[in-house]
Amino acid sequence: MIGFSPQMGRFARAGLAFVVVAATIAAGLGTGAALEPASAQGSEQEQPNIVVIMSDDQTQDSMRYMSRVSELIGGQGATFPTNVTNWPLCCPSRATFQTGQYAHNHDVLGNQPPLGGFDLLDSSQTLPVWLQSAGYHTAHIGKFLNGYESSAVGVPPGWSEWHGSKDTYRFYGYQLLEDGQLVQYGTRNENPDSPANPASYSTDVYTDKAVQLIDERAPSNEPFFLSVAYLAPHSGAPNNPPAQPQTRCDDTAKPAIRHAGTFGSEPLPVPPSFNETDIADKPASIAGRNPLTANEIANATRNYRCRAESLLAIDEGVADVIGALRSSGELNNTLVVYTADNGFFHGEHRIAAGKNRVYEEAIRVPLLMRGPGIPKGVVVDDISINADLPPTILDAAGATATLPQDGKSLLPFAEEPTRAHGRELLIEQYSPDGDDGEPTGVEYQAIRTTKYVYVLNATGEIELYDLEADPFQLQNQSGNPAFAEAQAALSSRLAALVSCQGKSCRSKPAMELRLPKPTTKGGKRCNSAGGFVAKVRNSSESRLVGATFEVNGSKVGEDGKSPFKRRLPRRALRAERKAEIEVDAELVDGRVLTLHDRVRICG
């Protein structure tokens, strides 16, 4: 068993934050250079624009309410249904998006000091800095890392244009730092059930600014990187407006007034994990929880409905952004990404609200992308993580990071959506930080593979879930003799991941596909279709437990025991002059790697 260290990284970094109260910030902290006309550019733009739209606390399940996002991004590009976040909490997750690193490497270990918050981020080595160095005009709109609101920093390094929230958790009556000034939007005492100024609703304001920026930047040959970070569906103010009745969505997300009540009768989903009946197999922090009461379920239902309604304005906003890109002629040369920082609970595993847990409801988040080179309407089978986003964006932009990247570009995943890459992903939490009444004190390290999630809690308690057989994580298989080999292998892999950096975070299992040697016929090297045997050779530390063989996209057999080989059908091989052979090789730890090759078949 590996040792668990809840204190990792540069915790000694000091510096007290203070609230910015001046109406005007020093001119040196304002936005970057002004727009250059297209005629000033020497050649046509070659690098793609990049637009990243991020929601806050959004579950994958809630994508059912975002038909425009699904159609305009996923339907025109790639959807990643098994995408997770390294640390399911706002600030560590957003720091991973900024750096491409796991939390134990970027050292933002919570939302608040001393372990977390904006001031712990090394802002000199981030995605916008790298893109700006590669010739991009960079712009941010909306929420930034927690703690930025009270930081002395104006515009963080790397941003050419800045509309960052200095009063984040408000849907009305908030402030943005723009052109060196704090700009007020709406009033703090606005009644979200009948707002006097509905146009100040933050989601709509952020969308309008995004559309304006696209319209302004389109004539330039300089590529742009636009980050739009909405507050919804996170909870936010105003709450309990003075001298008025309690609002419908008090202490939760506020929908735009045009969407209020849309889901007033929407039922709360009740998957098998909802108010879980038998939690004796869970760690004490879960096993000690009482069943949810009728009042708690009613509140979870109200929370769910308000949060779902708040997503509708984002869905419309994404359509407006796509429309602006289309009308400006930039859509076909723009990588558009939609994602969230972390998920959220609505009663699963007896957790009424919150995140910051290792379960799927908290760690799985939406990820959809469209753009140059991404096939239309594909669903990517393999697992992915938020650390993959910076390498993906840098790959598309032709830019270079100055930090080791713990994730990998997802562009090849989209190009070959059915292939597996032998991935093992790290989920980690090293502090008991929490907000919104979510459970705290749940530090852990975990490994997520295609088949399993294995969790080492700080208490020493272990969890192991077979996600293929038990997707709702109802039965902890830790200690089950039938899973002993898998548990030992996962424990070993986790021990390597918790201190990984860069390449060591994304290593593949040592396996290879062995095919018959070709012969020369008619002056060309080719293989005979008769007696053609494909074999998997495994040199990794984990045992190979299965291999599925395909020829030209069709399954032709499988093998569940050594030596993991298969004689491939003559007819299947001859269907194409160059036969594509793929083998999905599965290890006992749940990693799956697609081995593939193309061979010329003799005529």
Residue 107, CA distances (Å) to 10, 11, 122 in order: 6, 8, 9
User: Could you tell me the sign of the dihedral formed by the alpha carbons of 484, 489, 492, 498, in that order?
Assistant: negative
Angle between helices 202-217 and 294-327 in degrees, nearest 10:
20
Q: Which of 85-94, 316-325, 431-440 has the lowest mean pLDDT?
A: 431-440
Measure the N-to-C terminal CA separation of the chain; round to a whole number of Å: 56
Q: What CA–CA distances, in Å, run from 462 to 425, 477, 491?
A: 17, 9, 10
CB 469 within 8 Å of CB 484: no
Residue-level pLDDT at 431: 80
What is the DSSP secondary-structure string of 294-311?
A: HHHHHHHHHHHHHHHHHH
Count other C-beta atoms under 10 Å from residue 548's C-beta.
18
Q: For residues 74 and 25, which has the higher predicted lDDT (pLDDT)?
A: 74
Distance CA 225, CA 132 (A): 9
Q: How many CB atoms lie within 10 A of CB 522?
A: 7
pLDDT in tens, 136-182: 999 999 999 999 999 999 999 999 999 999 999 999 999 999 999 99
How many angstroms separate the CA atoms of 33 and 546, rounded?
A: 57
Instruction: Name the amino acid, one letter, at 112.
Output: Q
- pLDDT value of position 44: 67
3-state secondary structure of 597: strand
Q: What's the pLDDT tens digit per position in 468-526?
A: 999 999 999 999 999 999 999 999 999 999 999 999 999 999 999 999 999 998 788 99
What's the rounded mean pLDDT across residues 440-451?
88
pLDDT score of 7 more than 60 = no
Cα–Cα nearest to 456, from 428, 483, 479: 428
DSSP code, position 73:
I
For the cut 60, the answer to whether the pLDDT of residue 30 exceeds it is no
- Is the pLDDT reported for residue 597 higher than 80? yes
Mean of pLDDT values over 284-306: 96
pLDDT band for position 535 (cuts 50, 70, 90): very high
Query: Hey, what are 366's tokens?
Result: 């939406």
At residue 454, the pLDDT reads 98
Pairing of strands 592-600, 578-587: antiparallel
Task: For the domain made up of 511-600, give the CATH fold.
Answer: Immunoglobulin-like (2.60.40)
Reply yes or no on whether the pLDDT at 449 is more than 90. Answer: yes
Residues 114/140, Cβ–Cβ less than 8 Å: no
Average pLDDT of span 310-332: 98
Report the SS3 class of residue 333: helix
Share of the chain above pLDDT 70, in %: 91
**DSSP secondary-structure letter at 74?**
I
For residue 368, the model assigns a pLDDT of 98
- Of the given ranges (112-116, 154-158, 415-419, 571-575), which has the lowest mean pLDDT? 112-116
- pLDDT score for 510: 97
130: nearest Cα among 406, 345, 394: 394
Q: CA 95 to CA 101: how far, in whole Å?
A: 8
- Which residue from 159, 149, 161 is spatially nearest to 118, judged by alpha carbons? 149
Instruction: Spell out the domain ranges in the chain.
Output: 47-402+424-428, 429-505, 511-600
Per DSSP, the three-state class of 476 is coil
What pLDDT does residue 433 have?
Answer: 52
Give the CA dihedral 186, 191, 197, 200, nearest 10 degrees: 50
3-state secondary structure of 284: helix
What pLDDT was estimated at residue 242?
Answer: 75
DSSP string, 552-578: TTEEEEEE-STT-EEEPPHHHHHTSSE
Show the CA angle centred on residue 152, arms to residues 147 and 153, nearest 5°: 85
**For the residues 270-294, what does the mean pLDDT come to?**
96
* Residue-wise pLDDT tens digits, 210-237: 999 999 999 999 999 999 999 999 999 9
Average pLDDT of the segment spanning 269-277: 98
Q: How many CB atoms lie within 10 A of CB 596?
A: 14
What integer pLDDT is reported at residue 442 of this predicted model?
A: 75
Coil, helix or strand at residue 320: helix
Architecture of the domain made up of 47-402+424-428: 3-Layer(aba) Sandwich (3.40)
Stretch 75-89: mean pLDDT: 97
Whether residue 563 is preceded by a cis peptide bond, meaning omega within 30 degrees of 0, is yes
Say if residue 18's pLDDT is above 80. Answer: no
pTM as predicted: 0.91
pLDDT grade for 32, boundaries at 50, 70 and 90: very low
Report the CATH number of the 429-505 domain: 3.30.1120
Residue 16 clears pLDDT 80, i.e. is over it? no
3 state DSSP class of 126: coil
Could you read off the pLDDT of 372-401 as tens digits, one per residue? 999 999 999 999 999 999 999 999 999 999
* pLDDT given at position 521: 84
DSSP secondary structure of 346-405: SSBTT--S---SSSHHHHB--EEEE-TTPPTTEE--S-EEGGGHHHHHHHHHT---SS--
Average pLDDT, the chain: 91
The band of 434, judged by pLDDT with boundaries at 50, 70 and 90, is low
Give 324-347 pLDDT, tens digit per residue. 999 999 999 999 999 999 999 999
